Structure 1
Amino acid sequence: MKTHHIAKQNSILTKFLAELRDVTIQKDSMRFRRNIERIGEVLAYELSKELTYTTEEITTPLGTKKATLPNKDIVLCSILRAGLPLHNGMLNYFDDAENAFISAYRHHPNNDEEFEIVVEYFAAPSIDGKTLLLVDPMLATGRSMVAVYQGIKKYGTPKEIILVSVIGSVEGVAYVEKHFPENTNLWIADIDEKLNDRGYIVPGLGDAGDLAYGIKL
């Protein structure tokens, strides 16, 4: 797996990341969602450089011009609910992509720190032979991304898999690298060093779903 760590190079992306992490700015849930959306736009632009393109001739009011355009085979799949703002940001750029949604959550059967990932809902077009963009803002343990991939596989085989995240941990990146096909690409804004005993990224930013949409039961 090839990992593209975008925040290693300074850009406006680092400002959006700083605001996401800032406990004061996080109180504005609308701005939190918008910052994730803007990061999605940055990541979409960066990964678009690695897509396959074809040359087409377009007609202008005064003539014709050859243009290179990305192949229209993208399925953009987000993990609910935290993935929605990131999905919207990427959809702003890949506006002709097909869309898919899948649910995944941490289930604590013994009401302690141990958990399992439960995948219940999947709505998608055909993914066979297409470029699958699998979107989840937080790549903590990596178990959600892998569980989702295992659930999706029975519905078809994509031509290519691209993982997209905002913040991940070193451990989470290593975990998905071990469980995804070798030709998978990970595009991630930033990578933090560790997880706490509850499996949350440190320093991270907290619970992205709660910060975007409110505390759940």
Structure 2
Amino acid sequence: MIADKRWKGVYSFEDSPFLMEILTELRNKHTGAIEFRKGLVKLGRYMGYELTKTMDFEKVEIETPLEKTEGIIAKDRKNVVIVTVLRAAIPLMEGLIKVFEHARVGIVSASRGKAPKFEIEMNYIKIPEIKPEDTVIIADPMIATGSTLLKVIEEVKKYGTPKRLIVLGVLAAPEGISRIKGAYPEVEVFVTKIDRELNDHGYILPGLGDAGDRAFGAPIKTAKK
């Protein structure tokens, strides 16, 4: 896990060859929908493991069949709310919930309009009550312009003030991270990799295309030469 020096509370996993190999497969335009979904599940699960390293735990005394010893309980792991941004984040949530099996799950349906306005339409919002001891993880594979996530964060905050508010994704553009951190400095961001930039249509470069389309079998749009 690498802390990005450009912002406080922003981390990537570019130091993990395992995750970089999965990301390479996701980027490849020849990777089919099934393998793409499986890759997102793997990323969600592994990044969930890494998140537990940043959580509070308490030491406990237990008794083995042979003697007493000391162990730990990661209490924060049992106080998690995962907010899934439909539809691309469904496989990411599947991976995360394997680590945070006690998590309550919220669903937000949000779609981004075309450039240059990038207006956000939200058709469905179902978020559980958020408690002061909760860690909220908003799962969205692509942090591009940040427009969608700004609206989602705004909605999440209506349901309570958590201990931590985390955005977790696969790829991010610097522009999107800057917008999120500018509006909500307390939000932490964890992504597999931070890419170079956005193009004029608001897509991350080099990116991997539309994660929702690729995960659920829609045709892949490629750049014209």
Select the residue among 160, 185, 206 that pairs with 1:203: 206
The change in CA–CA distance for 1:198 and 1:70 in structure 2 (over 3 A counts) is same
Asked whether 1:51 is paired with 2:58, we answer no
Structure number with higher relative contact order (C-alpha < 8 Å, ≥ 6 residues apart): 1
CA drift at 1:52: 0.9
Deviations 1:134-187 (A, max 9, x none): 11000000111111011222221112111101001111111111111x332211
TM-score (norm 2): 0.86
Paired position in structure 2 for 1:90? 96
Any idea what SS the aligned residue of 1:30 has?
helix
CA distance in 2, matches of 1:210, 1:114: 22
Paired position in structure 2 for 1:4? 11
CA drift at 1:3: 0.7
The change in CA–CA distance for 1:34 and 1:161 in structure 2 (over 3 A counts) is same
Paired position in structure 1 for 2:5? none
Q: Contact conserved, 2:128 with 2:159, CA < 8 A, in 1?
A: no
> Quick check: which one's strand share is greater?
1
Paired position in structure 1 for 2:155? 151
Any idea what SS the aligned residue of 1:214 has?
coil
Select the residue among 133, 142, 146 that pairs with 1:142: 146
CA distance in 2, matches of 1:135, 1:64: 40
Paired position in structure 2 for 1:189? 192
How many equivalent residue pairs?
209
Alignment of 1:1-217 (within 5 A): 1-7=8-14, 9-25=15-31, 28-58=32-62, 60-62=64-66, 64-71=68-75, 72-108=78-114, 114-129=117-132, 130-180=134-184, 182-215=185-218
CA distance in 2, matches of 1:59, 1:34: 39
CA drift at 1:67: 1.9
What are structure 1's unaligned runs of at least 5 residues? none
CA drift at 1:60: 4.3
Partner AA of 2:73 in structure 1: L
Percentage of matched positions with identical amino acids: 35
Partner AA of 1:19 in structure 2: E
CA drift at 1:61: 4.7
Q: Contact conserved, 2:83 with 2:137, CA < 8 A, in 1?
A: yes
Partner AA of 2:38 in structure 1: R
CA distance in 1, matches of 2:123, 2:160: 17
Any idea what SS the aligned residue of 1:205 has?
coil
What are structure 2's unaligned runs of at least 5 residues? 1-7, 220-225
The 10-residue stretch of structure 1 (193-202 or 50-59) with the greater mean CA deviation from structure 2 = 50-59
Structure 1's consecutive aligned runs of 4 or more residues displaced over 6 angstroms after TM superposition are none
CA distance in 1, matches of 2:55, 2:12: 17
CA drift at 1:70: 1.5
CA drift at 1:93: 1.1
CA distance in 1, matches of 2:197, 2:168: 19
Any idea what SS the aligned residue of 1:101 has?
strand
The 10-residue stretch of structure 1 (32-41 or 113-122) with the greater mean CA deviation from structure 2 = 113-122
Any idea what SS the aligned residue of 1:154 has?
helix
Any idea what SS the aligned residue of 2:201 has?
coil
CA distance in 2, matches of 1:126, 1:79: 17
